A = this chain, B = another copy of it.
Amino acid sequence: MSGEWLRRWRRGGPAERPRGAPAAGPGPPPPALRYRRPKFLPGGEEEAPRGGRAVRGAGPERPLPWGAGYAEVINAEKSEFNEDQAACCQISVRRREPGLEEDEEWLILCSTQFLTGHYWALFDGHGGPDAAIIASNYLHYCIKQKLEEIVGGITEAQPPMHLSGHCICDSDPQFVEEKHIHAADLVVGALENAFQECDEVIGQEMEATNQTGGCTALAALYFQGKLYVANAGDSRAILVLKDNIVPMSSEFTPESERQRIQHLAFLFPKLLDGEFTRFEFPRRLKGDDVGQKVLYRDYFMEGWGYKTVEKADLKYPLVHGHGKQARLLGTLAVSRGLGDHQLKVIDTNIEVKPFLSCIPKVNVFDFALHDIKEDDVLIMATDGLWDVLCNDEVAHVVRSFLAENRTDPQRFSELAKCLVCRARGKKRGHQWMLDDSHEASYDDISVFVIPLHNREED
């Protein structure tokens, strides 16, 4: 099932292939992707001059769905390119006739019934900008395709056991009811499968064009009255509502996924090739520690214990460091994301990919259960923002900015710029500083501000 779509794509692809996406097919490998900024930024897809780290924002010329705001800034010379990418669009989901075979595409194309979703996504690249660019080109197509595959199940009050809708077994309804399966569970499944398919697409594209690198992916999908936020990586989405803040994602880092990662190394020790130790220690061990009992954790432990240090424990730890310094295999700062199929630990043959997951955790927010107020917004941002501003600080900026800017039609764009400016800070000498004289973010910073009140209007 998976990958089939890519093969069809490569044979010529669906009619709606995104403009600008490389047309792949038999023959020589496709050319490497051209670096670009998101299409909806004014001033074209070129990079802004880097010197002053000017903040770029979406303008009134190309309004985003729902009047959402977007802004970004490049890093402080950490990498050649801004490795963040962004995408947003409507997703039109065609309703297939029950029992229609997948290869009867002409029938699908004749279909006139649609469901519409709205999609926003951020991708934070590492090891080069390419994976993030491919992901921003393809993920919404993967989601669209996965939703179309199950649309017959979504439009029922409860998804039927058989997608055809025909009940060939009297016990069907009862069983499905027992499991409490709702349409939302199908959308969650579609997002999980879409991320996996997009990862496969990236792997094949990157191999074909001899590119490397990976990216995190944070995608928000508004579909049939619910907001789905799917996250794989260390970007973050929060709802800033009038009276509270609702986290819509959690971060996946070597620290937060330590037990999963260590467990895999326990099951397949060869993945470490004798170069790393599976155990976690609070600090790197040294020769003097051998024979001593030191604090450690193994895969099954949430708590800590003491172990007598052996020589093998002096190897570099599989997961090491704390907070932003935490690394997987000394290499990656995130434990989920797309790409990195070719990534190896430097100077070794150890592959990082087996320890990475491309599966997002999906959180669902049901608007039917909440009274959404005029200034309620979804904030999505890459780690460049959250490294220096916590949820409460962001919510404070959001609420005070919107209260002071009631009438500006560009208020959500301006708010996105304001948030990026806050996190970037100001240059003093060679340093970027926050207002409170803490160090500002040196990373790429990208922010969506998505108003939630008038979401049905367009």
Contact = CB atoms under 8 A, between A and B. Distances in A.
A163 interface: yes
A183 to B, nearest CB: 10
A283 B169 contact: yes
A303 B191 CA distance: 9
Contact of A193 (B188, B292, B305, B359): B305
The A contact surface, by secondary structure, is: mixed
A66 B426 CA distance: 61
A190 B308 CA distance: 15
Given A175-B283, A185-B304, A306-B150, A292 B190 contact: no
A297 B189 contact: yes
Contacts of A305: 149-150, 186, 189-190, 192-193
Copies in the complex: 2
A293 interface: yes
A162 B283 contact: no
Interface in A91-116: none
A164 interface: yes
Contacts of A357: 300
B292 A181 contact: no
Interface residues of A, number: 56
Interface in A262-299: 267-268, 282-283, 286, 288-289, 292-295, 297
A272 to B, nearest CB: 16
Contact of A187 (B191, B282, B288, B303): B303
A163 B304 CA distance: 12
A303 B153 contact: no
A368 interface: no
Contacts of A295: 153, 159, 161, 176, 181
Contacts of A390: none
A303 B162 contact: no
- Most chain B beta-carbon contacts within 10 A, residue among A286, A295, A362: A295
Interface of A: 1, 149-150, 153, 159, 161-164, 168-169, 171-172, 175-176, 178-179, 181, 184-193, 196, 267-268, 282-283, 286, 288-289, 292-295, 297, 300-308, 322-323, 357, 359, 361-362
12 contacts: A1-B308, A153-B295, A162-B294, A168-B288, A172-B283, A179-B322, A187-B303, A188-B301, A189-B297, A189-B303, A267-B268, A300-B357
